[in-house]
Every structure is written in C-alpha cells, then in structure tokens.
Structure 1
Amino acid sequence: MVNWEERRQLVKIANLYYEDNWTQEQIAKKLTVSRPIISKSLQKAKDLGIVEFYINDETVQTVSLEKRLESEYNLKDALVIPSVDKKPELTLHSVGRSAAYYLSKNMKDIQSLGISWGQTLTSLVKEYPYELRENMKVVPLEGGMGRKKVEIHANQLAYELAKKMGGECSFLYAPAIVESEELMNRLRSMEDISEVIEEGRNVDMAVISIGNPYEHSTLKSVGYLEEEDVKELKKLGVVGDMGFRFFDQDGKPVHLPRDKRVVGLSLDDLKQIKQVVAVVAGNYKADSLLGMLKGNYIDVLITDDETAKTIIQKSG
C-alpha cells in the first residue's frame, strides 16, 4: 500500500517518462535522486496498475496542473493537492501535510531555513515529522503580532520547527509593525534584531504563505488592518500581502507609509533568497498567489487543485 505522496510521485515520473519522453537520467536530475530509483519507480507504477498503455490514475489531473504551473511560471517544482470535499479546513490541513512531506524530502543541502507566519504554515509545522537535522538553523522572517494568535507567529513557528528538527532557531524580539519610524530606526540599531533580519536575508530556503487582505484576512482578524486601511489598499491596486508587505496584480511592491515601520524582510529581500517555497491553501487567494507568481518571487509552489485551476484560467 502506498500513500498519496508516493503515488503522486510515481504518476509524475511515469508522466515524464511515457508522455514527455524524458530519459530516466533527466528525470533523476530533476527530482534529485539516482537513476536506479527512477527505474524502480517506473516498475512500481506498472505493478500498481498506474501505467498500462496509458497513465491511469486520478492523480494525473493534479500532475497535469503541476506541469502547467512549472512551465508557465518557470518553477523548479509544483505540488498540487486535491481539495478535500470543498471543505477549506480539511484542504488547508492536506496542503500543510503535503508541504511538510515535501520539505522533509527536499532539504538535503539546506542548513538555514526562513519561515513566515500564518495558519497554513502552522499546519505545515504541526505535520512536520520529528527528525535529526542538528545543523539546521530556523529563522523567523518577520516580527510578532502582539498577544493574539501567538501560535501562528513566525517566532513560534521557527521555535516549533527547530524543535522537531533538533536544530537551532533565532528569535526576532520585536513587533511586526512598530508605532513609529523613529522606533523602527532604534530597533534596527540593536544587534539582536539587526542580526536576525540579516540571517533572514541569507537563508538557503524561505517558506512563506500569502494573504488576501480582503477575504478571510488574518491581518484584519488580529487588528493590523482596519476597514479604512482595506479601502485604501483597494484604491492602490493591492491584491495580496506576504509578511506584511503588499503587492499588486503584477507582483510589484505597493509601498505604504507603514512599510518604514515593518520589522522583517522586504519583497526585494525575498527575491534574493536562493529558494522560496510558497505554501498556499484556498481558492480565495488565487489573485494574491497569481501576483506573486508574476513577480517571480516563487521557486516551489505547493497549493490545492482548485486554486491551481483558477490561476491557470486567469493566466489564459
């Protein structure tokens, strides 16, 4: 009996080999495994009845979506998870679990990992397996958000993930948004804060999620956005946010006065990171995710099939 993640991998390998005529060596290089593993996987796909004279599996639809996303947005990898009975909470859990599995299997040369905040990433951390990665350093990419929903703060997620890996973590001892630019400048001059922000800029991999400020907005629920703020964002053409930084439909940063008061990485900082993994659940985030894809911030995308379909439809 194989689990969903393994079955999806078998379908992907079979699709590349039989449909796209890739060699086993090419597939092995793409998936960063040895050629004998690809050979064994192709045989296993036959044994399970996935490959007959055609690829016969319900997972082929999600693999097709993955290929479209990888090609359209020059992604290193895409992982599309079937939605669970149109139930957002179950879909979020499924995406988080699959993202945890993906990270666990794809961090061979990663020694520093940056993590943002939010419910989707909280699901990922909860599902991440306990394993030994003693040389790993986990770094929060922005400050905290006060006392509400502490469990989804970047500091907390960095701590919980590092604990599961047996590694270390840094803490960003500052709010995500401070009261004044003067206070921001004072905080930046503090070694404990400036060093962690610099660590965040230089991580080997960043794991982020994306928000929609208009629908199911966590920023609104924790009091960081008021109704007047939301109206202003609409006027400015904002479609989404990442780590308290806002952007438009083309992924271009929309600069606000509050930007000078944000403790954390900018969108330009994010673009300089070697590998950015975006974990996004919920079709209502499609426009927000599309903006990030158009802005070329993302290297690996993990999302649900409804969101993937909407993105492909919108991109023509």
Structure 2
Amino acid sequence: MDAKERNLIAKVSKLYYLEGWTQNEICKKVDLSRPIISKILQQAREKNIVEVYMKDETVHTVELERKLEKKYGLHEAVVVSVSNKGPEMVRRRLGQAATAYLSKKINQLNTIGVSWGKSVSTFVEEFQSQQQSHIHLVPLIGGMGQGFVQYHSNHLSFQLAQQLNTSSSYLYAPAVAETADLKHAIKNSKDVAAVLEEGRKVDIAIVGVSSPSCESTMVGMGYLNEQDVRTLKDSGAVGDINSCFYNRDGQLVQHPINDRVIGLDLEEIKEIPEVLAIAEGAYKAEGLHVALKSKYLDVLVTDDKTAESLLEYD
C-alpha cells in the first residue's frame, strides 16, 4: 500500500467513524462511488487501520431482547443502547445492528425483499460490500420520481444489490398511484405483476414501521399531506408497514391511501418467511405493538428506549 492509498483510507475512515459522515456524504466529498467507499472502509478494518469495538453501554439490552422475544413470540430481537444519541446516530446504530444480523445468515438466503423509508435507507447505507452473487434483491413497493430518491424501494434494492455484487428487480410504478383505478391498472400490467409476485416469494423482507404523523417520510416525499394525516388518524390508523396503514386490531383502515398503494399488502408481508423491521422512537410504540401482536414481524431491531416503551405497553 503506497502513501496516497493509505492517506485516502485514513481520510475516509476518519470522516465515517469519527465525524459521523454517511457514505453518501463521503462519496461527494472525495468524488468516489459508494461501492468504492464501502470497499475502502472494509480495507481499513482488514489492514488494521481501523479497529471496531462494540461496547454495550448497559447490560440491560440483553434482558430487553429476551423480554421482547417472550412477549411477542419473536424469532429474535436486537436492542441497541442509544443513550444521549441524536436521531441520525440512532438510525445509524440500528442500521449497523440490522446489517450484522443479516450478514450472519446471508449464505442461507436466495432472495431479499426491500421496502423503503429512512430506517431501511440507513440499513442499506451501513451494509458493507460482500460477494453474494447468488442473492437477488426485490423491491416490495413502487418508487419513482426525482425527489427523495435515496428512500425509494427501487433505489435501495439496486444499491444493496451493488453492495452484494448481485442483481435486483425494478418495480416500474409509483409507491402511491393518483387514483385507485390507476393503481389496479398498473398492478395488473405484466412487468409490475411479475415483480410483485417475486416480492411475495422472497426469503426475508427488510421493512420499517411508521405512524401517521406530519414528520413521516411519506409527508416529506409528498405522498401524504397534513389533511391525509388527520383523516388517517380519524380512520383509526396507528401505524403502517410498506405504506399499508392499519388500526389497533391490525386491520387495514378504510382510507383512500390504502386503495392507491402499489406494493405488497399486510397479508402478503405476513406470509413472507421472515420479516425484519427496523424501527426507533417511543412515539411508534402503539403501531409497533400492534404490528408485533398481529404477527406481521418476526425480527425487530430497535433502540432501548423504544424497547422499554413496548414492554410497558399493555
């Protein structure tokens, strides 16, 4: 390794590990592609330029995991201690935990379904490059347009496929159609129907869990407005998975948004052999509780504060 290469590895590592930059931000800073940045970070660990230690600040996280698994019958719960961390760092820690979980079993998988949103985006961002050409990535919901592309399912599926040096499908559809009739027409088109069928057959799905809120990614992306949020709450919505909004009984609410989403619905998500959810924020406790009780999720990656809120939830 020459001095120039070592300096680049040191610079990228410092930005990522010490200053908290995302890989996408580093790409723009050093004018290199994301796969190259990921490989540089991998080199930094392999050449012992960087040593990563996982320090669990409180032993109670293991206890929280066991309690969550027992309460909800989860295959596995992963709880990360995030005391005094900002929202961005919390999502990053959860993304790292989720990638560690998936990496343990990736050799047993053939297909991975990917939803959308900030949590799923951070998970993909944190995933380190591997050679897993046997795996195929499938988006679980549509996602087209110029805004907030980094959160779209198609983009995330393609990005994760790059990290795994493998292939991905593309769902040629928006996440939410303008009308219910247009949604049905798009879903029944040959190409879209074929990818949705692939999604129903994936080995594992990576999803987020959100709630009807003006702070949700769907509002930021323009799929929902403030009136939609109010009417969703009025209809009894407490949470959503893959942009399918459900009530306290875990049933889809009667709302125009649910009639226009182009992607797998709750029952189709439930039929996937393993659904891994990445979710943070105690304000999501009710929606998460319902999703877990309704058996839509098999693995939960969350922070300790959210875990405590779930365990207190009756």
Q: What are the Cα deviations for residues 178-213 of structure 1, in whole angstroms up to 9, with x where unaligned?
A: 122332232223211100001011101001001122
What is aligned with 1:100?
99
Q: Which runs of 5+ in 2 are unaligned?
A: 1-55
Q: Which runs of 5+ in 1 are unaligned?
A: 1-56
Q: What SS is found at the alignment partner of 1:80?
A: strand
Q: What are the Cα deviations for residues 143-202 of structure 1, in whole angstroms up to 9, with x where unaligned?
A: 015322101100000000011111110000110111223322322232111000010111
Q: Is the 8 A contact 2:137 2:157 kept in 1?
A: yes
**Partners of 1:188 and 1:238 in 2: how far apart?**
24
**Partners of 2:65 and 2:183 in 1: how far apart?**
41
**Partners of 1:221 and 1:189 in 2: how far apart?**
28
| 1:1-316 equivalences in 2 (<5 Å) | 58-144=57-143, 146-214=145-213, 216-315=215-314
Distance 1:285 1:87, change over 3 A: same
Q: Percent identity?
A: 40
Greater shift after overlay, 156-165 or 246-255? 246-255
Q: What SS is found at the alignment partner of 2:108?
A: coil
Q: Is the 8 A contact 1:250 1:294 kept in 2?
A: no
**Partners of 2:312 and 2:246 in 1: how far apart?**
21
Q: What SS is found at the alignment partner of 1:258?
A: coil
RMSD between aligned alpha carbons?
1.5
Distance 1:215 1:306, change over 3 A: farther
**Partners of 2:217 and 2:248 in 1: how far apart?**
20
**Partners of 1:191 and 1:174 in 2: how far apart?**
12
What is aligned with 2:25?
none
**Partners of 1:271 and 1:91 in 2: how far apart?**
27
**Partners of 2:285 and 2:144 in 1: how far apart?**
25
**Partners of 1:259 and 1:236 in 2: how far apart?**
12
Q: What SS is found at the alignment partner of 2:259?
A: helix
**Partner amino acid, structure 1, of 2:193:** S
TM-superposed deviation, 1:59: 4.2
Q: What SS is found at the alignment partner of 2:122?
A: helix
Taking structure 1 as the reference length, the TM-score comes to: 0.79
**Partners of 1:286 and 1:145 in 2: how far apart?**
30
**Partners of 2:224 and 2:257 in 1: how far apart?**
11
Q: What SS is found at the alignment partner of 2:302?
A: strand
**Partners of 2:284 and 2:78 in 1: how far apart?**
16
Q: What SS is found at the alignment partner of 1:278?
A: strand
Q: Is the 8 A contact 1:250 1:292 kept in 2?
A: no
**Partner amino acid, structure 2, of 1:261:** R
**Partner amino acid, structure 2, of 1:191:** K
Q: Is the 8 A contact 2:72 2:293 kept in 1?
A: yes
Q: What SS is found at the alignment partner of 1:207?
A: strand
Q: What SS is found at the alignment partner of 2:245?
A: strand
TM-superposed deviation, 1:84: 4.2
TM-superposed deviation, 1:215: 5.2
**Partners of 1:219 and 1:91 in 2: how far apart?**
20
**Partner amino acid, structure 1, of 2:229:** V
Taking structure 2 as the reference length, the TM-score comes to: 0.79
**Partners of 1:239 and 1:194 in 2: how far apart?**
29
**Partners of 1:135 and 1:176 in 2: how far apart?**
28
**Partners of 1:82 and 1:243 in 2: how far apart?**
26
